Amino acid sequence: MWTACVLTLFPEMFPGPLGFSLAGQALAADRWRLDPLNLRDHAHDKHRSVDDTPAGGGAGMVMRADVVGAAIDAARDRHAGLPLIALSPRGTPLTQRRVRQLSAGPGVLLLCGRFEGVDERVIEAREAEEVCIGDYVLSGGEPAALVLIDAAVRLLPGVMGAEQSGAEESFEHGLLEYPHYTRPRLWEGREIPQVLLSGDHARIAAWRREKAAELTRQRRPDLSKPMTIP
């Protein structure tokens, strides 16, 4: 079963929004498993300390390598074979391609940093893949973990009602998704594009490809060369 194991200082944040909608229904149906583990369980002192002052000075605190390393080792004993991802603003941007790779595997082990981050030695020693969900800084890795899990879970077999829904979304073919419309046909003087009401599936498909390419050029010129939607 696909498993998301989350190493966090706040296990009570999970499942959070993952307990609702598609992810929540799939969790209740045992299509995937969530296992949040408390990093403080691997602290060595009576205060359950997980952080200390940064070597070399500076503001903030840094999560200790001995505590985090022990937590990762325990999680790997519990869930062997899961890739380790550390959520970090300096990580590689999360893409739909990477999400698909993760959803096709056994699951993921997610390390949620806090404070100024995690001691670099544990990132190196445990060979963590650092991943970023956007060019901004959060107060911790937990919201990013929720995002990554939700993106992966919805791609698991049987989670989405219509499998084709996942195949025609933004980023699946190097394009943003085309615009969508539904009833009423006329709303505040704005009509649904006539081509979508024509019943001509070839014309509709061509219009959608054109609009997807146009939106991508306008809003995300940084994306790779757009590919044609099949």
Task: Return the HEC string of 93-108.
Answer: ECCHHHHHHHHCCCEE
pLDDT in tens, the chain (230 residues): 999 999 999 999 999 999 999 999 999 999 999 999 999 999 999 999 999 999 999 999 999 999 999 999 999 999 999 999 999 999 999 999 999 999 999 999 999 999 999 999 999 999 999 999 999 999 999 999 999 999 999 999 999 975 555 555 657 678 999 999 999 999 999 999 999 999 999 999 999 999 999 999 999 998 855 444 44
**Tokens 């056994």 found at:** 106
Owning domain of residue 204: 168-219
136 within some domain:
yes
C-alpha 216, offset from chain centre: 21
Residues with Cβ < 8 Å from 21, sequence gap 6 or more?
none
Q: Which pLDDT belongs to residue 127?
A: 98
User: Is the distance from CB of 68 to CB of 49 less than 8 angstroms?
Assistant: no
HSE (side-chain half, CA atoms, 13 Å) at 225: 0
The confidence score (pLDDT) of residue 159 equals: 97
Encoded tokens for 90: 């300096």
Write phi, then psi, for 99 (nearest 5 degrees). Answer: -60, -45
Both 118 and 201 in a single domain? Answer: no
Contact 229, 168 (CB under 8 A): yes
Q: Do 6 and 102 fall into the same domain?
A: yes
Cα–Cα distance list, 2 to 149, 190, 196 (Å):
11, 44, 38
Same structural domain for residues 13 and 126? yes
User: Do 86 and 111 fall within a single domain?
Assistant: yes
Specify whether 198 is located in the same domain as 148.
no
Question: Is 226 inside any structural domain?
Answer: no
Q: Which residues of 187-208 are buried (b: 16+ CB within 10 A; e: fewer)?
A: eeeeeeeeebeeeeeeebeebb
Task: Looking at the structure, tell me whether residues 80 and 17 fall in a common domain.
Answer: yes
Token pair 């539904």 is found at 182
In this prediction, residue 123 carries a pLDDT of: 98
